[in-house]
Amino acid sequence: MLSPLFSLQQIEPNTPASQLWQAAKLCLKLGRINQSLTLAYSAAQKDPNQPQLYRNYYIEAVKLGAEFAEEIGDYQRASYYWEQLIQQVPQDGEAWYGLGIAKANLGDYGGAERALLRTLEVVPSHQKARMQLSKIQQIMKG
């Protein structure tokens, strides 16, 4: 039996959509977000009845990518992924919050303030956003 990693290298144009989805999920588990999205997109192209499945997968993968980037301190990449997620789901309060934190960690306090204000528009009871917004506004004043 071939190892899963070796199998990923053997993907050919005639690979069935079901195998592409499996490979995409494996890549996602390995943290290979871009490769995962490419494989999922290929799978969705082979089966035109699955655009919603791809959209849901895309959202899950991008969110995971943002969280991975935050964990390793790559706030530029985290910011990029949060922005991609917001384009797909503009009412996702956690995505706005994540973007605000990433922007703050990059020193973009104006961007952080805008994202945190948007978080509170979407989720008025978001206490962490309220606390972070207060800290950011203090930094901007001082």
Question: 107 with 76: CB under 8 angstroms?
Answer: no
Query: Is 137 contained in some domain?
Result: yes
Cα Rg of the chain, angstroms: 18
Which pLDDT score is estimated for 1? 38
Residues 6+ apart with CB under 8 A from 73: 105
Residue with token string 């943002």: 66
Q: Domain range spanning residue 98?
A: 75-142
**Residue 90: CA atoms inside 13 Å, Cβ hemisphere, count?**
1
The CATH number of residue 99's host domain is: 1.25.40.10
The model's pLDDT over 23-37, given as tens digits with 9 standing for 90+, comes to: 888 888 888 888 888
The model's pLDDT over 53-70, given as tens digits with 9 standing for 90+, comes to: 888 888 989 999 999 999
The model's pLDDT over 67-91, given as tens digits with 9 standing for 90+, comes to: 999 999 999 999 999 999 999 999 9
Distance CA 112, CA 75 (A): 12
Which pLDDT score is estimated for 6? 42
pLDDT band, residue 9 (cuts 50/70/90):
low
Query: Is 61 contained in some domain?
Result: no
Which pLDDT score is estimated for 45? 85
The model's pLDDT over 108-139, given as tens digits with 9 standing for 90+, comes to: 999 999 999 999 999 999 999 999 999 999 99
Domain count within the chain: 1
